[in-house]
Amino acid sequence: MLGAEMSTDDPTIALLPDTGIEEAAPEADSLLARCERRVGYTFRSRKILLSAMTHASGAEHRLASNERLEFLGDAILGFVVCEMLFQQFPQYLEGELTKIKSVVVSRQTCAKISEALGLQEFLILGKGMTTTPTVPPSVLADVFESLLAAIYLDGGIEAARQFLQTYIEPEVELAATGELGGNYKSLLQQFAQREFGSTATYHLLDEKGPDHSKCFKMVAQVAGLRYQPAWGRNKKEAEQRAACNALSELKGETAQFPSD
């Protein structure tokens, strides 16, 4: 984490608060080069990367901070994640996609990824914030969005999409198998206990594909009755889909996920 003020004349000049001495461009370039290696993207112009790393507290004025980039990054994040979900989950309804999206684009998720990348090491903060031992999660979330916007402006939407595929796709999987899947299985469990005094169980019916990319077919069973099974890219996803199918059938509705 670097405490600094940014010069409007030369964005590669950083003022180190402890010494009060202006460091030349190579010092800032070294820091930015390490940041590039950390995030896996090389900028054509490091000026925009420096802007993305500059918090309002470390900028000469707010227009020189990363706030405008954060605004743009938030929109790019939402668009690309919606695109991912639309393509990856063709059987999910709008409500289901919205639930996953709300988890994936949340401030908590952005802060989590930012911390995992160690972006706090490259932040340009004012003296007041550098006295605290940790960077607030809100600042970490902001810098992730501003970094995304910087990559988009420097390399285009494809560069931004590739960056998000690397760091957001695992969060999509967690949200799909955890948040959404947990809800379906929990709902089926509650229904089974309330209506039948029974526990829902899940059984593997089939699997296909190579070892590195298998699909699994699971069925939910309640009170001795099995409902329409469902395929998933892993057993947890297949279980959540099977639970969703069972709930639909128990309510007299059409199962949402195909079994073939």
* Amino acid of residue 147: L
Residues 226 and 162 in one domain: no
pLDDT tens digit sequence for 154-164:
999 999 999 99
Of 133, 167, 201, which closes a domain?
A: 167
Is 99 domain-assigned? yes
pLDDT at 11 over 60: no
Q: What distances in angstroms separate CA 238 from CA 40, 182, 217, 255, one per listed residue?
A: 33, 12, 6, 14
CA 120 – CA 31 distance, rounded (Å)? 12
- Note the pLDDT of residue 227: 96
User: Is residue 207 flagged as an active site residue?
Assistant: no
Residue 114: φ, ψ to 5°: -60, -45
Q: Which of 145, 154, 171, 239 is catalytic?
A: 145
Q: What is the pTM of this model?
A: 0.62
Residue 134 has pLDDT above 80, yes or no: no
* Count of Cβ atoms closer than 10 Å to residue 254 Cβ: 8
Distance CA 227, CA 191 (A): 14
Say yes or no to pLDDT of 17 above 60.
no
Tell me what pLDDT residue 178 has: 62
Q: For the chain, how many structural domains are there in total? A: 2
Residue 136 in tokens = 């607030």
The CATH number linked to 73 is 1.10.1520.10
The rounded distance, in Å, linking the Cα atoms of 202 and 246 is: 11
The 10s digit of each residue's pLDDT in 107-117 is 999 999 999 89
Give residue 240's pLDDT band: very low, low, confident or very high (50, 70, 90): confident
Residues 145 and 204 occupy one common structural domain? no
Mean pLDDT across 88-116 = 89
Helix residue ranges per DSSP H, the chain: 25-39, 46-52, 67-88, 94-104, 107-117, 127-130, 137-155, 157-167, 169-174, 181-196, 235-250
Is position 22 annotated as part of the catalytic site? no
137 and 194 part of one domain = no
- Whether residues 21 and 106 fall in one domain: yes
Q: Which pLDDT value is given to residue 86?
A: 94
pLDDT tens profile 29-62: 788 999 999 999 999 988 999 999 887 775 666 6
Q: Which residue has the tokens 């829902």?
A: 200
Looking at residues 179-195, what average pLDDT do you find?
76
Q: Answer yes or no: is 82 within a domain.
A: yes
Residues 161 and 231 in one domain: no
Instruction: Decide if 81 is inside a domain.
Output: yes
**Residue 97 is assigned to a structural domain of this protein:** yes
Same domain, residue pair 47 and 121? yes
Residues 148, 192: one domain? Answer: no
Q: Are residues 21 and 50 in the same domain?
A: yes
- What is the rounded average pLDDT of the residues 129-145? 79
Q: Are residues 194 and 107 in the same domain?
A: no
Percent of the chain with pLDDT over 90: 42
Ramachandran angles phi, psi of 230, nearest 5°: -150, 150
At residue 92, does pLDDT exceed 60? yes
Backbone angles phi, psi at 135, to 5 degrees: -85, 130
Q: How far is CA 51 from the centre of its chain?
A: 22
C-alpha 155/C-alpha 36 separation (Å) is 13
Residues 239 and 224: beta-carbon distance below 8 Å: no
| Residues 42 and 92 both lie in one domain | yes
Residue pLDDT, tens place only, 66-89: 899 999 999 999 999 999 999 988
b/e code 140-165 from CB counts within 10 Å (16+ = b):
bbbbbbbbbbbbbbbbeeebbbebbe
Boundaries of domain holding 92: 2-167
Q: Which of 70, 74, 142, 154 is labelled catalytic?
A: 74
Q: Determine, yes or no, domain membership for 126.
A: yes
Q: Which amino acid is at 16?
A: L
118 and 240 together in one domain: no
Residues 31 and 92 in one domain: yes
User: Mind listing the pLDDT tens digit for each residue in 196-217?
Assistant: 888 899 999 999 988 878 899 9
What average pLDDT is seen over the chain? 82
